[in-house]
Every structure is written in C-alpha cells, then in structure tokens.
Structure 1
Amino acid sequence: MQTRSMFRLALLGALAACFACKAKEPAATSPAQQSAAAVTAVVKMENIPPAGSYVKKRTYFKLPSVAGGDIDLADFAGKPLMVMFFTETCPFCRKAAPHLEKIYTTYKDKGFTILGVCIQNDRRAPANFAAALGTTFPMAYGGRDLYGKYKARGVPFIFLLDKEHEVRKVWPGYTESFDPEMVRAIDSVLAGK
C-alpha cells in the first residue's frame, strides 16, 4: 500500500513539473528556490527523441519580430543558429537567457546567431523578457504553432540548427551544465562537422 502511495505522489510531482512553466509565475530568486525548481524542470534525456528525429528540413519559419517586421529563417540561409522557445515568466527561461546572451555575443561575429521564439502571441511578452534580462539576440513572438512543429516539450526548449537548418542538437530545459556542451556543438556546426 505504501508503494502505491509513493507512486501516486511521484506521478503527481511529475505532472506538476510538466505544467510548471505554462502559467505565469515569478522567477525563482533564492538559491534554495532555484535548486528546488531545477529538480522539477529538467527533463530526463532518455525521454527525448534524438535530434535527428525532429524536423529535418521542416525547420523553416517566418514570425513577427519584436523589433518590427518579421524574422524569416530564410534570411539566415547557410548560417547555423540556435532557436530557444520560451515564455515571458518561465523561471528556467529567465535563467537560460543570460547564458545564451553570452554565447550570442561570443559567436555573432563568427556567423552564428540565436533566435528567441516566444510561444505567446503578445509582442510585449518577449519585449519585457528581453528588457528585464538584457538580451540582445533577435526575438519573435506568436510561435505556438512552430513550437508544435518542432515537437518541443516545455520551455525553454533549445535547438541547434546547422548551416542547412537541420536539427543537430536539442536541449530540453536548461541548466548551466549545458553550457560547455552547447559551446562544443556550436564550434562543431561552425566547422561544418
């Protein structure tokens, strides 16, 4: 009987983690909150399909840009890039953004960019996100359909696209431990490997 209760408790915890970033919530501020939140946010890698099973050659999108106009993937033809799906108030997205900004500023002069895709339809959501976190990489909004097309599960969900815009790597969620792997993967796609 105790095993059944533990299983139900674990199942409830897993369901709560799945919906953690779907509602508006304040960012975790204390180290204890961040540690507790990280435990529920990280998706186990064995549950994520390999990068190659995602959207090969169907990665194209054109979405409204926060800066005005559109972000059209065709404008980045022949250039590798990273796409991060996010929501304005997701604490894990807010944790990822400054690290991705650092990667963006390091690699933008080498022909690499990062595109933020807010799945919310309100232009103010990604604008507020960028202003609060000091990010300068391009951001689009209204990306819910694209989120489904990319088979993302939760936010942040980060994709590395090579020069042909095929998915090479996927990071579900975000922890700082992803940073070295992201840098290696970016170096690899820039080298054409």
Structure 2
Amino acid sequence: MAAKRRWPRIALEAGFWIVVLGFLGYRIWPQFAAALGVGAGGTAAPDVRVETLGGEQVSLRELRGQVVLVNFWATWCPPCRYEMPGFQRTYEAYRDRGFTILGLSVDRAGRRVVEEFLEERGITYPVAMATAEATRAFGAGTMLPTSFLIDATGRIRHTVKGVFLETALVPAVERLLAERDAEEAAP
C-alpha cells in the first residue's frame, strides 16, 4: 500500500527534473554548440546597413570575408553588461585576424546614454543604435542579449539568446577564422 502512495510523488519529482533539465539544456546548449561547432550549418545573414555611433556606415554585406558577431543589447540589461567585457577582450585579440563585432543597442533612452555607457566601460568595438529594419531582419525580439555569429561567407553559424560566454565565443571565433583561412589557402 505504501508503494502505491509513492508513485505519484516519484512521477511528480521525475516530471520536475525533466522540465528543469530541459530548460537548462535549452539555455546552455547554444554555448556548447558554438564552442564545439556542433549544429553550425547556417542561414544567410540579412544585409542590414547601420550608422555606428562613430558615424561610419556599416553594411553586413561589406563585412564579408570577416567573422562578425552581431549583438543586440541594452544598457539596462544586466546579462548584456555581463557579456560585454568578454566581447571586448575577444575583439581586441582577434580584430587584426578578421573578426569584428557589431553591437546594436535597442536603448530608447537615446544615443548619448549609450555613448556614455560605452565610454565608462572602455568598449571600443563598433556599436550602432538598432534600427527597426535590423531588428526585424534578424528576428531579434524581446530576448536580450541576442547574438548572431556570422562566418566569412555571410552565414549565421550560431545564434545565442542570453549571455554568450567568452569561453564559448573564443573557440567559435577561432574555428570560423580557421575555416576562412583554409578556404582562402585552397587552390
């Protein structure tokens, strides 16, 4: 009789753990996939044009040949703030090898707030205010941060909703740069 009473509790606990592990897998899998290159087929990145806060016109089509991280973020977003130092370190380490970042701020507070935020934190990679066109083209909705890692041929190889950890970004960037270099060296 006692065994019959335990089954509902066991089933409830099992269901709980299935939901928890499923959620964690959903949130953590993109990090592993990026770091290991798993499931990295890719779709064509949209060609969007934005003006950086520095006044430079940037088109994703013009960045072909480089590995590009497009990151939708906001100054008020704690996970966005958390990932930015790792992005800056990665940018500094690989920009001379053909890696760049395009940060797209969705802040409504305005350009000046974003400029002050970046200056205070020493962020030097290109940042623009996200346009409605860019947000629609990438399908970047309400989840911040959202990052798209684009290979040198212009294909989105990894999409990470939430924090893109430096420990996952660096191996992904190295792998995509190596792929580009191998293709360029091929006869």
Question: Normalised by the size of structure 1, how large is the TM-score?
Answer: 0.66
CA separation of 1:87 and 1:43: change in aligned 2, threshold 3 A: farther
Percent of aligned positions that are identical: 27
Which structure's CA Rg is the greater one? 2
Question: Match of 2:89, as an amino acid?
Answer: K
| Structure whose residues are more often helix by fraction | 2
Structure 2 residue ranges without an equivalent (≥5): 1-24, 31-38, 181-187
1:174 lines up with 2:157 in the alignment: no
Question: Normalised by the size of structure 2, how large is the TM-score?
Answer: 0.68
1:155 lines up with 2:144 in the alignment: yes
CA separation of 1:59 and 1:126: change in aligned 2, threshold 3 A: farther
Question: Match of 1:162, as an amino acid?
Answer: D
Which among 27, 44, 52 is matched to residue 65 of structure 1? Answer: 52
Give the C-alpha shift of residue 51 in structure 1: 6.2
Contact 1:64–1:142 (8 Å) recurs in 2: no
Which among 44, 53, 76 is matched to residue 27 of structure 2? Answer: 44
1:84 lines up with 2:71 in the alignment: yes
Higher relative contact order (CA 8 A, sep 6+): 2
Which among 111, 121, 134 is matched to residue 146 of structure 1? Answer: 134
CA separation of 1:70 and 1:106: change in aligned 2, threshold 3 A: same
- How far apart, CA to CA, are the structure 2 residues paired with 1:65 and 1:136? 11
Q: RMSD across aligned C-alpha pairs, in angstroms?
A: 2.5
Number of aligned residues: 146
Structure 1 residue ranges without an equivalent (≥5): 1-41
Question: Match of 2:144, as an amino acid?
Answer: V
Per-residue displacement from partner, 1:68-102 (whole Å, max 9, x unpaired)? 13222233121111111111221111111111000
- How far apart, CA to CA, are the structure 2 residues paired with 1:43 and 1:65? 33
Residue matched to 2:171: 184
Question: Match of 1:173, as an amino acid?
Answer: G
